[in-house]
Structure 1
Amino acid sequence: MFDRILVVCTANICRSPVAEALLKANLPNHVIESAGTMVASSNLLNARAHQHSQGVCAEHGFDISGHSARQLTPELCGQFDLILVMSHEHVDEVALLSPGSRGKTMLLGQWIGQGDIDDPVHQPKASFDVLFHTLVRATTAWVKKLT
């Protein structure tokens, strides 16, 4: 049913690359990708994942060093069955960009009772450690719902 999953955050360098890696590890028969709502306007097209996101992933056996940030587009939204976002604001942004995608856009933190998963972009590494564990809980809950 949900074979193609897109994970969305703001710049596609902190949260969504980590969540993408976690989902890929647990849903090997699914297509899982990520994008950001403000990649182009932040001049981050093709940027690598944030160094702290890469570091925390590496500490837990995930390699996201090949990640390349990309902008969310209406065409991209149309290619996926489920769009998982980090915040209520992202839900609204996806709906504005691709009105037909609103019904398939859900909060990543929904099943763990967390509406928004905060962006740690200008925070110390400790915030990325907390983010990683939050994303593990959120993606694990989604994997249970999807399998």
Structure 2
Amino acid sequence: MQHILTLCIGNICRSPLAQALLARELPQHTVWSAGLDALVGMGADPLSIQVAAAHGLDITAHRAQQVTRWLCQQSELILVMEQTHKSQLEQQFPVVRGKVFTLGHMSQFDIADPYRQPREAFDTAYAAIAQGVADWVPRIRKLG
């Protein structure tokens, strides 16, 4: 398993954080992020950038991109933020079935969208993303 895709809606708050965390933990893997309804070309939300920096991550170069069939086909694992994202993605690209999971799958939680909310919502989202990454990394390492 070499290619991992993280996915949310706008690709400016949650998935860039998940991408950065996974890339730090799994440097030998290629980790992408995209959005179901991406704000294409936009940078990461300023509060996501602040939260990332507070945890030693730099997402200032991030630019939002729309999820594509190619990204889905290239990715061996697709990690979404909410169960509804999984359903939407599977409906849009049936080829992804079997390789889409929520980032909170192991502990059975969704990661709420902090967009247009105060910093606390971004801190909460980051904590949930960090938990999801901590749950997934050992499994991904085992799979190669």
Q: TM-score, normalised by structure 1?
A: 0.93
- Structure 1, unaligned stretches of length 5 or more? none
Render the CA deviation track for 1:18-63: whole Å, top value 9, x for unaligned: 0000000000100101000001xxxx21100001000000111100
Name the residue aligned to 2:29: 30
Distance in 2 between the 1:67 and 1:61 partners? Answer: 15
How far has the Cα of 1:74 moved from its partner?
A: 1.4
Distance in 1 between the 2:90 and 2:112 partners? Answer: 20
Q: 1:121 aligns with which of 115, 129, 132?
A: 115
Cα contact 1:73–1:97 (8 A) shared by 2? no
Aligned-partner residue type, residue 127 of structure 1:
A
Give runs of ≥4 in structure 1 deviating > 3 Å.
Answer: none
Q: 1:101 aligns with which of 60, 79, 96?
A: 96
- Structure 2, unaligned stretches of length 5 or more? none
How far has the Cα of 1:112 moved from its partner?
A: 2.1
- Whether 1:72 aligns to 2:86 is no
Alignment of 1:130-145 (within 5 A): 130-145=124-139
Distance in 1 between the 2:87 and 2:107 partners? Answer: 21
Residue aligned with 1:141, SS: helix
Distance in 2 between the 1:137 and 1:86 partners? Answer: 12
Provide the aligned C-alpha RMSD in A. 0.8
Q: TM-score, normalised by structure 2?
A: 0.95
How far has the Cα of 1:122 moved from its partner?
A: 1.7
- The number of residues matched between the two structures is 141
Q: Percent identity?
A: 40
